[in-house]
Every structure is written in structure tokens, then in C-alpha cells.
């Protein structure tokens, strides 16, 4: 690892040597010491990791030197060491951005070392966060975030690339479960804002009475239960992207407030009159036809045109062809890896069954189906019997109707034909009847094979 480089700036040669000795005893630390402010400024190109600064230097006062250091290296931590005990001086320097203020006395060296350790821990955490954000950016490359090779997906990649180059608002449409938030994240993590927050808000999931507080924040005592100040989602997204999913669920009164935020680029917390400036990139999504909502009067025309921006329409999974199998294999690999299971493949019959299904729940439903199939599977291959579709409602058997035993038997066998994908030997075994009985009922058209 690169040594941790500390600048010690002090005009007292004895004290300078004292600090250099105490800090230099640690093998991973290198010291550069300076007797005046000019020498310190002239050597900032050496990129110190931390600076300890005597507040009273002969050539420049502490305030001025601190400002000049921060003008060149705004990210470098600075610890002020001074003989001055005035609280006002310390408060002023903290407001200017000093990391610590220590008084010169017999405890200074120990306090300085503790302060340096805290700063280094914070720097390490920041580096870890930056590294995780870089990894997240790699995860959300277009091809990694939205899996597929169909023509529809290629068009989505092209639109995501266009969106990531600018700060234009993005308007994503598509059925529930088609991957709208995945696309929004892909755009954010490939844009210049990728190291700033991505804040997702599902408007349909927030109780109506809490939407305003959730979006704009509130002050202490603004309403019953507001125990303290709380930042809203717009403030949390400052510098980054806010993703408003299911924006059509917003009430008209809140739509006007969202419009004002987008126009003025500022918010006002509930219970406050203070205006807070924000810098956000807006991405919205809905599964509804927003133009129709405008015609019905449930969505404001001015807000509609304000959020429209770049439209990205996601095709439903049933229109993406063999992307279904690509996604199925991806979900299977991910699930087995995360659960320390052996790799598993899809049988030809299971693949055919997936390809024949219309997936009303889209990608989200496919993921759930594959994960359940892996759990249900008894081998290293997912069979057609392991695939269960949640939208195929089984008939409920009711004894309230006056029907014959034969009719009830037909209903039961029909249910099992669906459940076991027409595997008649398995059904006969489960129900304890002969295979020939089932074949005869099919031949006589008392029951039909599941489609």
C-alpha cells in the first residue's frame, strides 16, 4: 500500500520535530515538514493525505492559509493545531471545513494521533463506497442490466445510451414487471451522475397522506409523529437521479407541487418556509397510458409535457422471443450460485413450456417461476413438471352443485393435467387410477389435454 503522506506545518522547529517523531514512528506514514505557509503551498502538488497546520505562522495567518489549501486541494483533511484557546476561533474554522482543532499542550500528540486515525477510517470508508459504486456501474452496463438479444431490447439499449449522455428527463413505459427500474438504474449508472445517489420511489406504495412528506421532507413538529427534521427523497437525490415509478398514481394536488419543483429546482419541507435548492435528474415510469389520463383529467397536461423527455417503451416479455430462455438461464445461474446449489439446466420440454406461456407478470414472474422450479426439481435439470404458472387458476371444486361423481372426477383429472403438464403416468400414480381410464376419458372427450 502507498504510504500515508502527512504535511506538518509549524514555525517552531522543536514542535515540528516532536510531531514528526511521534507520527513518523508508524511504518505506513511518511512526513514532510514545513516552517511556513508558502513552502506548504508550493509543495501541494505532492498530494498529501492530511495536513496538520499551526494556526499562527509568521508569513500568513491561519484563516488565509487554510482557504488557499482548500482552494487547491478541497479534499485534503486539515487538522488545526494552535495555542489559541478561543472557542470562537475553533468554531469559525470548523465552519470553514477544518477536520479538527487541537490546543497545544502535553496531550496534543495523543489527541492528534486519535484524530488522524478517525480521519483515515473515514477516508477508507469513502474509498470503499467509491469502489462499490464503480462495481455497481459495471453491474449496470446496458448488457448486464437488461438481458436480451431481441430487436426490442437492442432498441432499448440505443435509447439508454442516448439518455445516459445528457440530463434529459426520461419517461419509461411498460407493463408491470417488465424492468422499468432496471432500465432507470442502467441509465443512471452509465451517466455522469453515477457516483451520486439513485433514489427510487414507488408512488403506488406510499399512503396518500404521507406522499408529500416522503417526497419533500418535513420539519420537527410539522405533524403528529414528526419527531425531528427529515429529508425527503428529492433532497436525498441531490446531485444524482430520482426515479418516480407509477407516477400516474399522484393526486392532482401533489402533481402541481412536483411541477413547481421541476420548474424551480427547489423544494420546501412540510412545516417550513425555507427553500432548499436541489440538483436532480428525473426519470419517471408508469404502466398506464398517461396521454389517456391527461384526456380524462386525472393527470395535469403541463406536468405531462414537463416529464415527457425521452420516451423509452419496454416490450412485454411475451414479445421478446428467445430472450425468455436467456433470462431463465440467467435467473437459474444466479439462484443456484447465491444458494450454494449445483448448476442446473433447462430440459427441452421445460423450455418449450416457457416459450408457450404469455407471462402476464413479465420478467418478475419469470424469475419467481424459475426459482420455484429449482426448489421443486429433484435432479440437475428443470423438467416441465417443475414449471408452475401462477395465472393458471385451478377450478375450485364445490359440492354445492348437484353433479355426478363422474363430473367431479373429470374436474379433478383436468386440474392434474394442468398441474403435471399432461404427464398421464404421473397423474395416474398421484390419483391412484389406471392410465387407461384417463386415456379413455380423453378419447371420449370427457376431458381435454391442458394447452
Report the b/e string of 174-212 with b at 16+ CB within 10 A: bbebbbbebbbbbbbbbbebbebbbbbbebeebeeeebb
Nearest Cα to Cα of residue 38 among 14, 19, 11, 13: 11
Task: Write down the pTM of the prediction.
Answer: 0.58
Q: Quote the CA–CA distance of 252 and 286 in Å, as a whole number.
A: 16
Ramachandran angles phi, psi of 227, nearest 5°: -80, -15
CA distances from 278 to 175, 190, 349 (A): 31, 21, 54
- Domain residue ranges in the chain: 4-131, 146-313, 318-381, 392-451
Q: Residue 243: helix, strand or coil by DSSP?
A: strand
Cα Dmax for the chain: 108
Measure the CA angle with vertex 210, ends 204 and 211; round to 5°. Answer: 50
**Cα–Cα distance measured from residue 421 to residue 411, given in angstroms and rounded to the nearest whole number:** 15
Predicted local confidence at residue 390, as pLDDT: 66
Instruction: Decide: 407 and 398 in contact? Cβ < 8 Å.
Output: no
Place of cell 452509465: 190
Report yes or no: 189 and 198 within 8 Å, Cβ to Cβ: yes
- Provide the grid cell at 137: 456501474
Other C-beta atoms closer than 10 Å to the C-beta of 7 total: 22
Nearest-angstrom CA–CA distance, 159 and 176: 20
**How far, in Å, CA of 368 to CA of 387, rounded?**
10
pLDDT value of residue 145: 64
Run of H or E including 394: none
Number of Cβ atoms within 10 Å of the Cβ of 387: 24
As given in the structure block, the three cell numbers for residue 200 are 427510487
The answer to whether 335 touches 152, Cβ cutoff 8 Å, is no
Where do the DSSP E strands lie in 186-253?
Answer: 198-202, 217-218, 230-231, 241-245
Residues 6+ apart with CB under 8 A from 272: 218, 219, 222
- Residue entry with cell 440530463: 167
Q: How far apart are CA 384 and CA 394, in angstroms?
A: 18
Closest CA to 217 of 231, 207, 205: 231
Q: Which CATH class is domain 146-313?
A: alpha beta
Domains 4-131 and 146-313 are alike in CATH topology: yes
Parallel/antiparallel/unpaired status of strands 310-313 and 198-202: unpaired
Question: Which option is the CATH number for 4-131: 3.40.50.2300, 3.60.20.10, 3.40.190.150, 3.20.20.60?
Answer: 3.40.50.2300
What pLDDT does 64 receive?
87
Decide yes or no: CATH 1.10.3470 for domain 392-451: no
Q: What is the predicted pLDDT for the residue at 396?
A: 47
Contact assessment for residue 184 and residue 243, using Cβ atoms and an 8 Å cutoff: yes
Q: How far apart are CA 289 and CA 173, in angstroms?
A: 8
- CATH code of the domain occupying 318-381: 1.10.8.60
Which residues, in sequence order, are CB contacts of 406 under 8 Å at separation 6+?
446
85 C-beta neighbours (distance < 10 Å), count: 10
Sequential pLDDT tens for the chain (451 residues): 678 999 999 988 998 899 998 888 888 899 999 999 999 999 998 989 999 998 888 888 878 889 899 888 888 999 998 877 777 777 888 888 888 988 888 888 888 989 998 888 887 777 766 656 555 545 555 556 678 888 888 899 899 999 999 999 999 999 888 889 989 998 998 899 988 999 999 988 888 888 889 999 888 887 777 778 888 999 999 999 999 999 998 999 899 999 999 999 999 988 888 889 999 999 999 988 999 999 999 999 999 999 989 999 999 999 999 999 999 998 999 899 889 988 999 999 999 999 988 898 899 899 999 999 999 888 789 999 899 886 544 444 555 556 677 877 888 888 888 777 788 888 888 788 888 888 888 888 888 887 6
290's grid cell: 398517461
**Helix or strand or coil: residue 231?**
strand
Amino acid at each position: 500500500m502507498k504510504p500515508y503522506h502527512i504535511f506538518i506545518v509549524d514555525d517552531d522547529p522543536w514542535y515540528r520535530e516532536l510531531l514528526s517523531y511521534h507520527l513518523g514512528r508508524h511504518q505506513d506514514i511518511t512526513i514532510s515538514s514545513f516552517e511556513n505557509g508558502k513552502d506548504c503551498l508550493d509543495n501541494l502538488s505532492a498530494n498529501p493525505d492530511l495536513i496538520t497546520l499551526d494556526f499562527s505562522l509568521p508569513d500568513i495567518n491561519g484563516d488565509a492559509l487554510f482557504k488557499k489549501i482548500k482552494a487547491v486541494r478541497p479534499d485534503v483533511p486539515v487538522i488545526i493545531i494552535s495555542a489559541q484557546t478561543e472557542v470562537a476561533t475553533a468554531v469559525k474554522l470548523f465552519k470553514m471545513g477544518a477536520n479538527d482543532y487541537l490546543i497545544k499542550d502535553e496531550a496534543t500528540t495523543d489527541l492528534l494521533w486519535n484524530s488522524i486515525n478517525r480521519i483515515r477510517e473515514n477516508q477508507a470508508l469513502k474509498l470503499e463506497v467509491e469502489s462499490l459504486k464503480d462495481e455497481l456501474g459495471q453491474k449496470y452496463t446496458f448488457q448486464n442490466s437488461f438481458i436480451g438479444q431481441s430487436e426490442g431490447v437492442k432498441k432499448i439499449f440505443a435509447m439508454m445510451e442516448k439518455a445516459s449522455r445528457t440530463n434529459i428527463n426520461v419517461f419509461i413505459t411498460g407493463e408491470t414487471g417488465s424492468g422499468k427500474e432496471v432500465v432507470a438504474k442502467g441509465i443512471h449508472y452509465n451517466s455522469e451522475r453515477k457516483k451520486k445517489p439513485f433514489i427510487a420511489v414507488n408512488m403506488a406504495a406510499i399512503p396518500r397522506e404521507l406522499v408529500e412528506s416522503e417526497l419533500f421532507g418535513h420539519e420537527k413538529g410539522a405533524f403528529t409523529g414528526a419527531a425531528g427534521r427529515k429529508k425527503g427523497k428529492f433532497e436525498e437525490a441531490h446531485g444524482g437521479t430520482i426515479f418516480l415509478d407509477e407516477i400516474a398514481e399522484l393526486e392532482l394536488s401533489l402533481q402541481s407541487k412536483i411541477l413547481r419543483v421541476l420548474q424551480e429546482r427547489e423544494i420546501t419541507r412540510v412545516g417550513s418556509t425555507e427553500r432548499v435548492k436541489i440538483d436532480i435528474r428525473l426519470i419517471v415510469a408508469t404502466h398506464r397510458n398517461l396521454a389517456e389520463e391527461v384526456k380524462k383529467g386525472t393527470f395535469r397536461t403541463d406536468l405531462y409535457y414537463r416529464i415527457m423527455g425521452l420516451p423509452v417503451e419496454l416490450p412485454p416479455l411475451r414479445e421478446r422471443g428467445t430472450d425468455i430462455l436467456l433470462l431463465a438461464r440467467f435467473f437459474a445461474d444466479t439462484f443456484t450460485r447465491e444458494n450454494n446449489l449445483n448448476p442446473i439446466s433447462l430440459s427441452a420440454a421445460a423450455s418449450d413450456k416457457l416459450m408457450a406461456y404469455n407471462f402476464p407478470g413479465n420478467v418478475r414472474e419469470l424469475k419467481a417461476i424459475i426459482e420455484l422450479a429449482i426448489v421443486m426439481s429433484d435432479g440437475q435439470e428443470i423438467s416441465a413438471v417443475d414449471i408452475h404458472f401462477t395465472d393458471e387458476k385451478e377450478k375450485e371444486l364445490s359440492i354445492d352443485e348437484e353433479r355426478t361423481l363422474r363430473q367431479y372426477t373429470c374436474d379433478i383429472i383436468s386440474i392434474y393435467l394442468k398441474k403435471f403438464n399432461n404427464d398421464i403416468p404421473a397423474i395416474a400414480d398421484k390419483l391412484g387410477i389406471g392410465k387407461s381410464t384417463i386415456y379413455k376419458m380423453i378419447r371420449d372427450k370427457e376431458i381435454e389435454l391442458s394447452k
